[in-house]
Amino acid sequence: MELLRFKDRNSGFTLIELLIYAAIFSVSAVFLVNILTSITQTQIKQTSTNEVAQQISFVSNTTQRFVREASLIENNAGVASSTILLRTTASSTDPTRVYWDQTAGAIMLQQGTNQAVQLTNNKVVVDSFSATKFENPGGNAIIQIDLALSTNTTVDRARVTRFWRGAITRISAATFDSDLLPNTSNVLNLGGTGSTWKNAFFEGAVNIIGKLGVGTQPSDISGLASGIKVNGDVSFMDSAKGIILKAPDATCYRVTVANGGTLTTASVTCP
């Protein structure tokens, strides 16, 4: 009998013991699952944060380089725009545009006539992009950029949004190492009414196709292809130089002045 009772006591777990063990295992499993879920969510959140931060850094650094190397920031001063328009010295990159494509949700870069490329990748979405140019009298122009990026996901727990604001200054006035040519002939102006250049210095020929006004607006005479209108004196400081006129017989004459104010003419080779 004693041997039988000993075997009964060591034959296995009782039902109560099994229930207690199952409850402990369930609680432990739930606890471990919660820890694993929390760690996974934290990793996903950190990955999204890192991706957005990297994209903001790349866009800001790339835009900064193009602005600083540009010859001109052509945006209207004080007006917010979703496009930064830059002029460059190379025809292959002029103009350079950094802009927000709202349909694609991306920041785009286009140089010259080349196809536009994305600066941001498909892992992020551009929520907003605004650029405002500020003129600095006596200094260089400044472009202020406001940018908002979010992770491209439909999972709320993984969605991260970051905002960035920065100001970029163009480094110096334009110094050209090649020809300065417009991308379209007879369309763009150099300066304008109320935005004039002070002095100009040329060493070589100046060819003007059209009318020239010196100190005044040129006369708009119907049928006159070209002409010069001067509001002031025209000085010739070399007595051997003068005005060359072409006669109806295609002979050219230089008109000069002799002592006493007498006008003289001499035939010359037509220029």
What does the alpha-carbon distance between residue 267 and residue 254 come to, in Å, rounded to a whole number? 6
- Note the pLDDT tens digit of each residue in 244-260: 888 899 899 998 888 88
Tell me: cis bond preceding 95? Omega within 30 of 0 counts: yes
Tokens standing for residue 218 = 């040129």
Position 115 scores a pLDDT of 92
SS3 158: helix
Higher pLDDT residue, 52 or 1?
A: 52
Higher pLDDT residue, 69 or 176?
A: 69
Position 6 scores a pLDDT of 46
* Burial (0-12, 13-18, 19+ Cβ within 10 Å), 100: buried
The stretches of the chain forming alpha helices (DSSP H) are 2-9, 15-69
Place of tokens 């802009």: 99
- Note the pLDDT tens digit of each residue in 173-231: 555 555 677 767 777 777 777 777 778 888 888 887 777 777 777 766 665 656 777 77
Neighbours of 198 (CB within 10 A): 5
φ/ψ region of 115 (left if φ > 0, alpha if ψ in -120 to 50, else beta) reads: beta
What does the alpha-carbon distance between residue 13 and residue 269 come to, in Å, rounded to a whole number? 126
- Note the pLDDT tens digit of each residue in 124-164: 999 999 999 988 765 678 899 999 999 888 777 778 888 99
